[in-house]
Amino acid sequence: MHIGSKGWYVEQLKRIGIRRLEGRKIEKFKTPVLANLLDEKQN
């Protein structure tokens, strides 16, 4: 997996315990949404 790819973001979010957002699996969201979510949770 490449850093910054959708799969990478999904893996990072799962690593910190986030598997769902708004009742939907995080795999269903587009990359920019996942990037913003990860940035929000890390800060």
Full-model pTM? 0.89
Is the Cβ–Cβ distance between 35 and 9 less than 8 Å? Answer: yes
pLDDT tens for the 43 residues of the chain, in order: 899 999 999 999 999 999 999 999 999 999 999 999 999 999 8
Tokens 């920019």 — which residue?
A: 32
The reported pLDDT for the residue numbered 43 is 87
The reported pLDDT for the residue numbered 35 is 97
Helix 6-15 × helix 31-42 angle, to 10°: 30
